[in-house]
Amino acid sequence: MNACPKCGAAVADGAEACPACGLASEHFERFAAEELEPPPPELAALWDACIADWEDVDRHEKLLATAARLDAFLHAGRLYRRAARERGAADPRVVAGLERVRRMAEAAWLTRPVASEDESEESRRYRTVALLLLSLVLLAGLGGITVYIVRTLRSGDATDNKVPPVPTRHMSDGVAN
């Protein structure tokens, strides 16, 4: 039996993933090594303040706001997971902190631009050329429509197709015949 480095749950030997959190067993060693990476200094100082007065909600809020500003959700999650191992996973501050980190990280991820930074220069060039060609086709179509309308108006075809007026009868005695 092994313990999951992410959540601490018992994992049977040979299991493909942690039954509690789903971390693949092939990633256990790398995850355990990454968990030891220190958080940014500003976040570490705020975490120390949270530890000093664990029940102070404002300190936890400052930590989470700073994690959002630094885009350090990974580190905030690690800190709260460590607290879960030390204080117990049912601790209300741990539960609330982990949930907030998860929601904030999801919101930040969902509001990021769609285009990835690793997009190749060639694909960007292709997209630019395709948009340019599409614009030219649309302009040519609009130009053709404009030329047609102008020629039609200048040739007098539009005035030749007028409906002739209806003839009226002359009234000699005031009554129409």
* Pairwise CA distance, residues 94 & 68, whole Å: 18
pLDDT in tens, the chain (177 residues): 888 888 788 999 889 999 988 889 898 888 888 888 899 999 999 999 999 999 999 999 999 999 999 999 999 999 998 898 899 889 999 999 999 999 999 998 888 777 555 667 778 888 888 999 999 999 999 999 999 898 888 886 555 556 666 667 666 655 555
One-letter amino acid at 128 equals T
Terminal C-alpha separation, the chain:
113
Helices (H), the chain: 28-35, 41-52, 57-70, 73-87, 92-110, 121-155, 157-160
pLDDT at residue number 161: 56
pLDDT at residue number 73: 93
pLDDT at residue number 75: 93
pLDDT at residue number 165: 66
